[in-house]
Structure 1
């Protein structure tokens, strides 16, 4: 089956140009927004977008501030509320093209933190929230890094992402991926936003799907569980994959993950 067409739009973001990827669908059943993780970009979600597109979705995914083809110093985020605002800009752009279609938000890792905050602010406009390996709850890394006089220039290990060696190789060779260490203002913003989300209340009746690799070394499952449980208003569906690492959409068992995702969407939004 041929891959769906992808388009790129440039919108006005909070701090400059916001690049938004679109996998267009002429007559979508739903609109899906994808919020990518730290140091990467929306183009890495082409496989997920293709699955969602075949399942009847128009898919939109911004490159976050300081990531991909969007404006900003690389991986510098001083206030995640700016990024939530950019995601809102992308959402309004998508819904203007497809009025009346239910909107689903999918957030991975850092993108899960952004998605959680978005759902707290704009959850009434969502039909469902999907969190994949989300940075939420008891994530210890910011505290450890901020306790150091100097944050080490240590990149993410490609092998932490997936058991599939092709995923690691593609990540390591991707020029739009950040291959350096974290920047202190970004780590400080992570810490503040984790606290903001923890204090921001649950998302009420919004259906939530939580996907997590049991062997995720970057965002350990127990800490995420604390945050996801608090965020969910009770309509939580959980899928934990034995042996899987951080990027379940790129894991060896990705077909199982995609089936769980599309089955969930069919159950919660019938349009």
Structure 2
């Protein structure tokens, strides 16, 4: 992350107000990405890959999906072998997923990334949602629009809540992805069994709770950036979102088992999700899924220290391409 460059909440709000409609028409979509406000944002989050590679088409704008205005990007190399779809986690936004975007481009894939409702530059109450179904509905409607331009096969990487979005989509929509990798996917958070009592006491009266300092990665520079320099990180926990997460757990328990061959990557020092419970439950619903542990890695697997991050992306590459 590049904290030396300025990008404030005021800049973000101005950018949101100016986002043009994304049509998946490169000649139109590239125009906005080259404007000064867009370049400031792209440089700050180190996702200005088209500035380094002149052959890369970068579209940046917004689509309408499931009642939200969704900030969306695509990166299209000259001869892509498919498309990687990136789904970020709770509190986060696509800007901190530079490593995942770079991985996709290095693999010769086009990349499609977006901010979930209530996150980043997308519309919606900050870090809040009524149902995880809405996240998956946004994903499906985005895919329907993107397929006009971005080539198949489609691959997906979901981090935490992004993994939950991909699981929700898997059961509720026709198959879209040739291969899917779930990084520390969320079913329940760490400490839920004791924290649910607090939720029942608070949810009729309290809308938000303060977010504590992150302990999601051993990369101290990354943690310092999201805690101190990332204006797009939500600083509050939405109690409404907690209710949606609780209902997501109940919904997942009711799903029938499937034979899909997904990849599940999990750090053994994850302090964010109830990973032992989550992995057991997911493997019960997806018995052919492959589970890969990354020893001592935290929750933000795609933003871990380089050695752990390399293990994550090696596992994803093997799963995607059988190498």
TM-score by length of 2: 0.75
Is 2:235 the partner of 1:179?
yes
Task: Compare CA radii of gyration and give the structure with the larger one.
Answer: 2
- Once the two structures are superposed, the pairs formed by residues 168-247 of structure 1 within 5 Å of their partners are 168-172=223-227, 173-180=229-236, 182-204=237-259, 206-232=260-286, 234-247=287-300
Once the two structures are superposed, what CA deviation does each residue of 1:124-157 show, in whole Å capped at 9, x if it has no partner? 2221221111112686536244233366723142
1:132 to 173, 183, 196: 183
Deviation at 1:123, TM superposition (A): 4.8
Question: Does the 8 Å contact 2:268/2:297 carry over to 1?
Answer: yes
Matched, 1:165 2:210: no
Q: Quick one: which of 70, 76, 88 aligns to 2:122? A: 70
Measure, in 1, the Cα distance between the counterparts of 2:142 and 2:175: 16
Query: Higher mean Cα deviation, 117-126 or 242-251?
Result: 117-126
Q: Does residue 1:112 correspond to 2:163, yes or no?
A: yes
Alignment of 1:22-61 (within 5 A): 22-61=74-113
> Is contact 1:201-1:230 (8 Å) kept?
no
Q: Quick check: 1:137–1:198 contact (8 Å CA) kept in 2?
A: no
Q: Provide the rounded CA distance (Å) in 2 between the counterparts of 1:114 and 1:88.
A: 10
Indicate which of 144, 147, 167 corresponds to 1:95.
147
The question of 1:4 aligning with 2:58 is answered no
Cα displacement (A) at 1:3? 6.4
Question: Residues 33 and 144 of structure 1: is their aligned pair in 2 closer, same or farther, counting only changes over 3 Å?
Answer: farther
CA change 1:227–1:145 in 2 (3 A) is farther
Paired with 2:218 and 2:190, the residues of 1 have a C-alpha distance of 22
For structure 2, which runs of at least 5 residues remain unmatched after alignment? 1-46, 51-57
The corresponding residue for 1:250 is: 303
CA distance in 1, matches of 2:107, 2:288: 23
Deviation at 1:243, TM superposition (A): 0.8
Could you say if the C-alpha distance between residues 243 and 162 of structure 1 is closer, same or farther in structure 2, counting changes exceeding 3 Å?
same
Structure 1: stretches of 5+ with no match in the other structure: none
Conserved in 2, the CA contact under 8 Å of 1:137 and 1:226?
no
- In 2, the alpha carbon distance for the partners of 1:154 and 1:28 equals 43
Give the whole-Å Cα distance in 2 for the aligned partners of 1:248 and 1:136.
16
Q: Scaled by the length of structure 1, what TM-score is found? A: 0.89
In angstroms, what is the RMSD of aligned CA positions? 2.1
Q: Number of residues paired by the alignment?
A: 262
Aligned partners of 1:30 and 1:222: how far apart in 2?
A: 33
Q: Who is 1:81 aligned against?
A: 133
- Ranked by relative contact order (alpha carbons within 8 Å, sequence separation 6 or more), the top structure is 1
1:146–1:15: structure 2 CA closer, same or farther, 3 Å change rule?
same
Three-state SS of the structure 2 residue aligned to 1:257 is: helix
Partner Cα distance (1:10, 1:185) in 2: 25
